[in-house]
Structure 1
Amino acid sequence: MASNWNDNEIKVLLSIRADEEISRHIKGTVSDAVTYDKITNRLREQGIHRTKSQVISKLKTLRLKFLKVNDHHKQSGSGRISWAYFDLCQSIWGSSHSTNPVALSSSLNSVDPETNAPEDSCEGSTSTQMTETQVPPSDAEQMDCVTGFTQPPRKKAKKNKDHIVDSITTVLHTMETSFREQEALRVQQQREYEEMLRKEAKEEQKEERASMMAMWKEMMEFQGNLLKDIMMRPPLATSLPLNPLYQHPHSFNFPSPSTSYMVPYHPPGQDEDASHHPQFKPSFLEDLQD
């Protein structure tokens, strides 16, 4: 695979790097590796097969050159350098760090006839050559060139870390306080509920005793009224006993006929005088008169 990038590959690379989503995810940290993988994949989708390290190295080189050209333009009295990728780099690493659609469109459309020419020949067509000696940048500077952001100071990182720790501690303390308050409220509600159950049980027992006492009083009152009614009744009249031996002192003594004596049977037609019967004798009548 050729190490040199042609004009079309450079413009496609810069257009992908200038994408808003790509720019937003590049933060100058280790997590940028995922974003560079996305750039490599998008290049591969357009038929440009480059490795992630080649993409990172090329972006570093382009940013370094953009910074030099931009500094040259800012110097008063210096002639303007014509560079084909200045507008694209300006949209990526300019002061606003915002994507310029007009610059992207014009840069992508203005492809030279020799599209597949190596990058060295394209960059060599500048009107004014830069004769400055380039010093190899350090790793930190190279990463800053790619991302467009400087590494935050260690003191600030430590401050942010302390702030995060304090925030987590505050959240944990708040959660613990809330848990304790909820637990205390739950215990109080449990006690109130148990106290309510005890009061209800006492009320039920009290009502049950009152009901039993009312029933007992009603029964005692009924028994008292019944006894009082019995005692207030008049006594019943006594009747003479059915004893034949008992005789009143002023009563007459009438002999009762003997039930053991049987009158003799006389057949019909027999004419006898009544005087022949012993019950009609004068002595018997006299006894009755006495």
Structure 2
Amino acid sequence: MIYIFTAIYAEAKNIIKHYDLKKQHVAGLKFDIFSNDDIRLLITGAGAVNAAVALGNAAGVFGIAGHDRIINIGSCAMPGENAGNVYIINKITEKATGHTFYPDMLIKTELEEAVAITVPKPFIKDCGSQKSGKCLQTKSVYEMEAASIYQAASFFIAPDHVSFIKIVSDNGDLISKDEMQEAIHIAEDKIHDYIDDIKEIVQEEKVNANAKESTDYKKDIERLSDAMCCSKVMKDQLSQLIKYCYLSDIDHRAVEREFYDRKMLPCSSKKEGKVCLDKFKNRLL
């Protein structure tokens, strides 16, 4: 599953429309969520605390882990830069603490890289050393959530499964809602292309995981069939049982180990195996 976190609805609107995400009401989730079969998008509210709480809340409700992906997509300020330009973040500095984080960038993308400076206030009055009215760090963007999302995500997911996409909306000045949406509209194709790339990777990982699982349960069937001296009919029954265990996330291997520890496996005859299979089935179901 892909989890997208945006601070405000204006940042999410085009994504919701493009991917036909539907608003849901999920027990225990305190934030607005829009989703389909591949994507869950949460609107966190602006600021570090809101972003961290939203991610932790979603991780607890949905069990974010493993092959899941987290993408933080949001607007940012970049003095001297055109509105609508899009950057993928390769470094995050939390201005309040001075802590620096480096997102793993293992996915190839056409997006230009930049540094994100996470600040506690939404508008930049002074971005430090200036020359000709522009910041010397011309590839630094200013935003409010990336550092907290990175730190919160690290409790649940691998660093290379978290990415940050920032859209330049202003130079650090107050802008209108229409100006914000226009900047995001300019960037929407690049944003969708990036999300599509992540979708392909997640789907490929699912296929590989399913193929591995298929191989694993077939090996389990063959191993247990031999240990129980199964006839064809018994092997068919065992096959259905093991497939059910995989689909239902039942740990049949723990029961198998238990049977070996109790000397119930391996069996010495088909008759003994039939009794063992019945006990194995009753133990699992």
* Short-chain TM bin: under 0.3
**More helix by proportion, 1 or 2?**
1
TM-score by length of 2: 0.22
More strand by share: 2
